[in-house]
Amino acid sequence: MSLTRRDFLASSAAAAAVGVLVPRHLAGAWQGQAPSPVFTPIRRNVGYFTMRGGTIGYLVNPGAVVVVDSQFPAEGKACLDGLNTQSSGRGVDFLINTHHHGDHTAGNISFRGAAKKVVAQTKAAEHMHNPPGAQPPTDQLYPDTTFTDSWSADVGDERVTAKHYGRAHTSGDATITFERANVVHMGDLLFNQRHPVVDRAAGATLRGWMSVLDGTARDHSSDTTYIFGHANTGLPVTGNQSALGNFRDYIGAVLEFVDSNIKAGRSQEEILAMRDPLKGFESYGRFGTANPRDILTCAYEEITTGL
């Protein structure tokens, strides 16, 4: 039975009212109170889930259930519980991870026994087992299906394709396309007007990131809907191709900003201490405190080392 937008919202609201979407034990799990789970349909049975962590994408149609990313364990369980109300508890045919970071994969463990297959790009799977600069989780549901360049599957009346364009946010990022719905989950390849995490220890490159955004735009159309990994406060986690262009231009502007300051003779310490918003991209806000994943730090290292 096909689920309309009204059906989905009504049944999700009903489930929340009886405590299915937010189990009582989750209350107070984060900063004193667990955020409420929200399921938002986009089109053709594809939508996104928000609670805490990187945005989750989902497909629920008469023939299959697909989940893209999993947030954290409690949030992953809340997502799974909500989807089960829509699919008569059939489980998840494919759980796909866009990359290895914990706010997108820690919730995998909540899909153990429910997910028939867990899919990720080869490097992302490697990083999940051995995260650069960190310890792996003590218990995790790891990918059992990996790919180098691309992976596809027919899921009910939809076709889902994962594609790795190259190094960007990490060395294992993948875009996940619901082809007939014309919806693409970008994972952390796209932060909506928010300074991103740049994981150089896991192979990130800002110049590569720009190329990946260019390639993604070429492979999709002007009416494609993109799901973003994160957004600045009050901004949406979905948008059109203009969001890709804006974020690409922002990355280029950061590289130009750092390069111009290096050429002006400013030291690394002076550049990394800069906090004012980037001219032309004020909506991204002030730069944060310099750290190994801060974009100013990564831009400086990339420019000065050429790597």
**pLDDT tens, residue by residue, 29-86:** 333 456 899 999 999 999 999 999 999 999 999 999 999 999 999 999 999 999 999 9
Could you identify the residue written with the tokens 């994943």? 293
CA distance 251 to 86: 39
Residue 281: inside a domain: no
Residue 304: inside a domain: no
CATH number at residue 241: 3.60.15.10
Residue 275: inside a domain: no
Segment 291-297 mean pLDDT:
94
Residue 36: inside a domain: yes
Residue 131: inside a domain: yes
Residue 12: inside a domain: yes
pLDDT in tens, 228-273: 999 999 999 999 999 999 999 999 999 999 999 999 999 999 999 9
Residue 289: inside a domain: no
Measured N-to-C along each axis, helices 241-263 and 295-305 cross at an angle, to the nearest 10 degrees, of: 60
Q: Is the pLDDT of residue 28 over 70?
A: no
Residues spanned by the domain of 196? 5-246
State the total domains in the chain: 1
Give the model's pLDDT for residue 35. Answer: 84
Residue 90: inside a domain: yes
pLDDT in tens, 88-110: 888 999 999 999 999 999 999 99
pLDDT in tens, 169-201: 999 999 999 999 999 999 999 999 999 999 999
| Amino acid symbol at 275 | R
Q: Of 20-34, 52-66, 203-217, which range is least confident?
A: 20-34
What SS3 state is found at 143?
Answer: coil
What is the percent of the chain with per-residue pLDDT over 90, rounded to a whole number? 83
Strand order across the beta sheet in which 238-239 lies: 150-155, 158-163, 175-178, 183-185, 225-227, 238-239
Could you identify the residue written with the tokens 């190994």? 292
Torsion angle of alpha carbons 244, 294, 265, 280, nearest 10°?
A: 30
